[in-house]
Structure formats: C-alpha cells, structure tokens
Amino acid sequence: MTTTTAIATKTQLTHVLVLNGPNLNLLGKREPEIYGFQTLQNIEDDIRQLASNHQVKLTCFQTNQESALIDKIHHHGLLTTNPDEQIDAIIINPAAFTHTSVAIRDALLAVNKPFIEVHLSNIHTREPFRQHSYFSDKAEAVICGMGAFGYTAAFNYLVQKYQ
C-alpha cells in the first residue's frame, strides 16, 4: 500500500493528527451505553500524554462539519509550508461521515499519509447502514468496539511501526 511509504523513509514519527467527526463533542453525554462515559477531552488528554512520552507532537481537531475535516487534512497533509504543522500520520474517527463521505476519503488519499480508522463502538454489530465504511479499505488499520482505548491502540500502533 502506498500510504505506508509516506513516512517509511523518516527515522521517526514526529507529528500525528487526530481527527474526530460529528457529535463526538458530546461524548460522555450522548448515549453513554454505546459510546462510553469518557469525554473527548479525556480521550485527547490520554493520547497527549502518550504522545509526550514518545516525544511526538499531537494535533487534535473535532468538528461537526465535513468541509472543516477536509481542510484540516489538506492543510496538515499537503498545503502547509511550516515544518511544525506537517504531519506523518492520521488517526481519524469520522463518526457518521464514515458511512457517507467520499470527499473525506478522497482527502485522505490525496495526502498519502498512513491513517488509522477508529470507532468507539463496533460498527459491524450496529444498524446495517452503520456497517459500511468509505475508509476501511484504505486505512492502514481499523479499530472498532474498544471504546476510548481504540485511540490509545491506534497511537501505539503508529509509534511501534514508524518510530
């Protein structure tokens, strides 16, 4: 897969972009029996601690707007000329956009960075419309059903593989 070659020549993973899609700002309040009781801030704090331990810069972003996710992928993946803003890999929970967004898929493919698709719930045991992902066939890995630990697993995978 060509996405893995994007940072294979680097000696170290230096910057990871963590993207979260619609309604994830409501974590801890919205359907905790499905999504858990941790807030998005709790999850980001946990990943930030991991990143700090591995001396990896972490940029976290959540939005309910598809175009804002695309702009963030474009900026950090291809458009920025600032080395501090250039990313090596992406962890993305596209949320509801998982099942609808060819545009986000295309943005991820355009930047040619390895990405991990994360879902708090197991999308394969949910409603039929939630079982299809526009990202899974291009993701380096897919983690679902592990709750907030899925983000930790995704980050640890990237560190193990690329650092």
Are 92 and 115 in contact by the 8 Å Cβ rule? The answer is: yes
Is 119 a known active-site residue? yes
Query: What is the three-class DSSP state of 95?
Result: helix
Report d(CA 105, CA 20) in Å as an integer: 14
Active-site residue, selected from the candidate residues 76, 119, 134, 162:
119
The answer to whether residue 134 is catalytic is no
**Paired tokens of 127:** 């409603």
CA distance linking residue 116 with residue 118, whole number of Å: 6
Which member of 35, 134, 151, 162 is catalytic?
35
Active site residues: 35, 119
